[in-house]
Amino acid sequence: MESPDSVVLTVLLFWPLVAALLVILFGSSDRLIKNGSIWASLLPLGLSIYLLFAYDIEGGGMQFEQVAEWIPQLNAGYHIGVDGLSIPLIFLTALLSTLSLYYSAGVINQRVKEYFFLMHLLEFSMLGVFLALDYVLFYVFWEISLVPMYFLIGIWGGANRGYAAIKFFIYTLVGSVAMLLAILGVYFATGTFDIVEAAAAQPFAGNLTLASLAFWGFFLGFAFKVPSFPFHTWLPDAHTEAPTAGSVILAGVLLKLGAYGMLRIMLPSFPEASVYWASWLVALGAIAIVYGAFVCVAQTDLKRLIAYSSVSHMGYVMLGIGAAATIMTPDALASAVDRFGLSAEAIQDSAAMALNGAALQMFNHGIITGALFFLVGIIYERAHTRDLSLFGGLATKTPHFYGLMLTAAFASLGLPGLAGFWAELFTFRGAFALMPYWAAFGTIGIVITAVYILYRIIQNVFLGEYDEHKLPHWTTVEGHQADGPTDMVGFEKVTMWPLIAAMFLLGIYPTPLINYFNRSAQELLAFVRNLV
């Protein structure tokens, strides 16, 4: 009798696919589909919580691994497993999926069957990317994730949805095909598609040209998804047009896939190329932070503003990853020791901090921006516009909404006591030690973030006098005529509170989460240290 732990990941992975098929085959009424979908999504959520507790942090490494034959001719297998990096992200995926399904049950009333089918399919593909330890499997899930999101934007999106959907698809497709070529390169260099084995075999070691080609192939694939400046132009369009839950998943999880890929694949597989190109990553990250923040200030559409804030906030992730990449080889570490006059341990600690900051930012950005997009959706369902100039003085009218928005917005700008703070602290603490000038440049972004959060969102939308002539037509969330803005209703509160609670919890006591990330950061550093 095999222990249930040996199949837990397979169940976790394929359950959403089963749910999707059930929706298509047996979804006879909208009510059944909605309730069934919400209940179905609790299983992956429960399993991901189980993984959080069952994962042995002390032992570390890949756990719950499962290996099966798939394409023996190519030496490509069904290999899945989790480590400290992927477990929190799997939890994030399951949590946001459940919340999105729950929220969507309240607001989606058109083509319900297709919608819930696609949402389950999306969860399936995202879990697959985080679980896959085989390049072919990884790529398959990576590409599948495009399709449901394309339909979600295209069918339930805003006025300009066709353009936004196709732009999203083609940009990310071009990136992923570049990654495919790099994957094939790695395969021919190492003879395996196994991500862990291939990294251990160090493809193109000693050949910086080929290693750089492969590095940039992967980078293009990941950078389009992150999205890193200057590959970010699809993001504002996709977000602005996507339905609320689509934006939440897009910002909350899909963007993380890119950063996850950098940590999982690029740094361990190509340490030399990572060192060589690290300053580029750091520069792109720092530019994204500052540029994204400045662009936010100029936005007139609330959702577009938050979309650009994602560009800025994902810049922190890039900054952290890039800073840690500078010391991926022993030579680079030695030269850093000389340059900064610090001990090797201190330098490595900084790198670990930068990595932890990046990973924390991935998780926290998922929670915070997920919440912000929900909140934008909540106001849009009532006002049917997102034009910032039409809002004002909502604080008195919708106090509950105001309170939650305030929390999420402050978490986003990194207020101590809320989740966002720790990620910024760790990232900048790590990056300052390794790339001081670019990190200093990046801090400009923090100031500008305060400007757009406080001035554009809080002051513009909530403070001041409420003027009923500015926006005369309001509805309730059900679509009935209303005299003015109405506050959040039950299902919206239930959607929001888990995220708000997480912001407080991780703001006050982030240690449990950091333990997971730190374990895998230390493993990565140990891995490159032990390479000859």
Contacts with another protein, residue ranges (CB under 8 A) = 70-75, 111, 114, 136, 139-140, 143-144, 146-147, 150-151, 154-155, 161-162, 165-166, 169-170, 173-174, 177-178, 180-181, 184-185, 187-188, 213
| Rounded least distance, CB 155 to another protein, Å | 6
CA 47 – CA 474 distance, rounded (Å): 41
485: preceding bond cis by omega (within 30 degrees): no
- Identity (one letter) of the amino acid at 474? W
Q: Distance of CA 202 to CAs 135, 191, 266, 326, 465, Å?
A: 15, 11, 11, 17, 63
**Nearer to another protein among residue 70 and residue 491 (C-beta):** 70
CA 117 – CA 17 distance, rounded (Å): 9
Residue 97 corresponds to which tokens in the numbers above?
């999926």
| Rounded least distance, CB 503 to another protein, Å | 36
Q: Is the dihedral of CA 304, 306, 312, 318 positive or negative?
A: negative
| Rounded least distance, CB 143 to another protein, Å | 5
| Rounded least distance, CB 208 to another protein, Å | 16
Closest by CA position to 525, among listed 363, 345, 358: 345
C-alpha distance across the termini of the chain, in Å: 41
CA 512 – CA 38 distance, rounded (Å): 28
**Nearer to another protein among residue 1 and residue 68 (C-beta):** 68
Q: Distance of CA 287 to CAs 229, 332, 363, 396, Å?
A: 7, 24, 21, 38
Rounded to 5 degrees, what are φ and ψ at 160? Answer: -100, 35
Beta strands in 382-513 (DSSP E): 474-475, 481-482
CA 131 – CA 141 distance, rounded (Å): 10
| Rounded least distance, CB 22 to another protein, Å | 16
| Rounded least distance, CB 177 to another protein, Å | 4
**Nearer to another protein among residue 102 and residue 224 (C-beta):** 224
| Rounded least distance, CB 128 to another protein, Å | 10
| Rounded least distance, CB 209 to another protein, Å | 11
- CA angle (441 as vertex; 436, 442 as ends), nearest 5: 95
**Nearer to another protein among residue 155 and residue 297 (C-beta):** 155
Residue 150: left if φ>0, alpha if ψ -120 to 50, beta else—which one? alpha
